[in-house]
Amino acid sequence: MHTDLAALFIIFGGSGDLAQRKLYPALFNLYRKGYLKEHFAVIGTARRPWTDDHYHEIVMTALDNFDEDQATKEAFVGHFYYQSHDVTDAKHYETLKALASQLDEQYELHQNRIYYMAMSPRFFGTIASHLGSEALLTADGFNRLIIEKPFGRDYESAKALNQELTQTFDEDQIYRIDHYLGKEMIQNIVALRFGNGLLSGVWNNQFIDNVQITLAESVGVEERAGYYETSGALRDMFQNHIMQVIGMLAMEVPVNFTAEDVQREKTRLFRSIQPYSPAEIKQNFVRAQYAETSVDGENKPGYQQETNVAPDSQTETFVAGKVMIDNERWCGVPFYVRTGKRLARKETQINIVFKKTGVNIFADDKSDRSAMAPDVLTIYVEPEQGFSLTINGKEVGQGFALKPDQLAYQYDEQMLADSPEAYERLILEALNGDGTNFTHWHELAASWQFVDAIREVWDADQTPLPGYSIGSMGPKEATDLLATTGAEWIFDPTQNN
């Protein structure tokens, strides 16, 4: 069915949460679908002194949700090896190298290697340096580095990390994961944009009034407070995921649908984002924190009351902003974005809001277009997946009132049942050497520079953050952000739409 891809995966952080919740199920999916057959092996490394048997039990537990028979699972798990490893200890890389060479021969892996950094980002640079200095990279096969977020915490630290990585790996060997780029409907954006004459013709400032991107979470900070306190929503969600969604929605048509061309267009786009002065940042970006809220008679803690959060924390759990792009296609079109924790619903949605017709011939005053709803193309990213086009029709009956109607297409559950999860898709793409859905250093550099300017203004401003109620869609300031141009957020689950 599929070619048998040969590779050795070395997973740094093999005992961690990401490995267990995402990577092992993703690899198993590739196995049961026939992408990985006999010619693969996985070395999990972490500090704990586990045996291979214990590691097998851990990997097996990660497959609990699969209905496959035990024999298939055992055959898969048999490809896993554990290596206790302190990533700062050069000697451990020698042991790792010996095991890697042995598995390479045993499974006929053609010296193909994928190094997966699934551990604390502070070790990314160290691991890459040791992989180089202890000569783990092979001469004949491919050597690819998959690296998790966060990639730095500002432009300078990201640049330093990139310099460390590129001592050992070339840019085209580095696969920087942004798992949003592995989502079905985010990948679908290019199909919608470049596969439809109807849409490609109107995808510009002549026809589009504004673009809205919402990445809403209903959960709070949970057990990630330690990390979140040093990050906040701007770094955790905006710098990477939201910027990448803007990239997919707004980049120019790539010459070819290849990594090189797509990454080039996204980089060009990010460089075209209008830089803001400090005053403009205050005007165009809003931050806030979820506040203690009584929900159904029960008091839910606000962010500052959460475990491991400083009681006077200024970390934002919500960001909304207006991003402007200074190029021929987009000048004048605001990209409104927002993301936050403890919002009304977990949902990711994109709304492309089209301009209204010039006159409203159905109104007494033809210049009055207030009763006319804008046409909206909505892309439902998650949990529902699909799209809809809201356009005006005639209200059935006497008279001539306009009424918005929706042409909607939802992927049904059956269709999605076997659709690859983001990590499964991205790992396969990395195995195939396809970097289209990974981020280039130049994209990251531009996006960090934009974010750093916001961070600097916010860090210098001691005004307490506005609060928002748990279960809302953020503070009033996020609504006001749009009101200045007469627009409003299309997605508002508090209104039951």
Q: How far is CA 437 from the centre of its chain?
A: 11
Q: Is 265 annotated as a binding residue?
A: no
Q: Is 179 annotated as a binding residue?
A: yes
* Separation of alpha carbons 298 and 220, rounded Å: 16
Q: Is 366 annotated as a binding residue?
A: no
H helix or E strand, kind and range, residue 198: helix 197-200
Q: How far is the CB of 162 from ligand NAD (least distance, A)?
A: 15
228 vs 290, beta carbon nearer ligand NAD = 228
Q: How far is the CB of 233 from ligand NAD (least distance, A)?
A: 15
Q: How far is the CB of 124 from ligand NAD (least distance, A)?
A: 8
Q: How far is the CB of 148 from ligand NAD (least distance, A)?
A: 4
Sign of CA dihedral 435, 160, 7, 80: negative
46 vs 481, beta carbon nearer ligand NAD = 46
Residue 141, judged by CB atoms within 10 A of its CB (0-12, 13-18, 19+), counts as middle
131 vs 211, beta carbon nearer ligand NAD = 131
343 vs 426, beta carbon nearer ligand NAD = 426
Contacts of 475 (CB under 8 A, 6+ apart): 286, 288, 318, 466, 467, 468
Q: Is 442 annotated as a binding residue?
A: no
Q: How far is the CB of 26 from ligand NAD (least distance, A)?
A: 12
Report how far apart, in Å, the C-alpha atoms of 371 and of each of 208, 391, 414, 484 are: 19, 13, 39, 19
Residue 436, judged by CB atoms within 10 A of its CB (0-12, 13-18, 19+), counts as middle
Q: Are 40 and 5 in contact (CB under 8 A)?
A: yes
What do you get for the CA distance between the two ends of the chain, in Å?
44
97 vs 300, beta carbon nearer ligand NAD = 97
Q: Give me the residue whose beta carbon is nearest to ligand NAD.
A: 16
Instruction: Give the number of other CB atoms < 10 A from CB of residue 284.
Output: 19
Q: Tokens 């997973």 sit at which residue?
A: 11
Q: How far is the CB of 84 from ligand NAD (least distance, A)?
A: 8
Crossing angle of helices 422-431 and 24-32, rounded to 10°: 70
48 vs 403, beta carbon nearer ligand NAD = 48
Q: Is 97 annotated as a binding residue?
A: no
* Residue among 256, 260, 276 at smallest CA distance from 268: 260
91 vs 476, beta carbon nearer ligand NAD = 91
* Separation of alpha carbons 111 and 98, rounded Å: 13
Q: Where along the sequence are the contacts to ligand NAD (CB under 6 A)?
A: 13-19, 21, 46-48, 85-88, 118-121, 148-150
Pairing of strands 143-147, 174-176: parallel
At 163, the amino acid letter reads Q
Q: Is 86 annotated as a binding residue?
A: yes
DSSP 99: H
Q: Is 183 annotated as a binding residue?
A: yes
For residue 84, the cross-strand partners are 46
Q: Is 241 a catalytic residue?
A: yes
H helix intervals, 356-440: 413-417, 422-431
Q: How far is the CB of 87 from ligand NAD (least distance, A)?
A: 4
Q: Is 52 annotated as a binding residue?
A: no
- Single out the catalytic residue among 56, 85, 241, 440: 241
Q: Which residues are annotated as a binding site?
A: 47, 86-87, 149, 179, 183, 217, 236, 341, 346
Task: Supply the residues annotated as catalytic.
Answer: 241
Q: Which residues are annotated as a binding site for NADP(+)?
A: 47, 86-87, 149
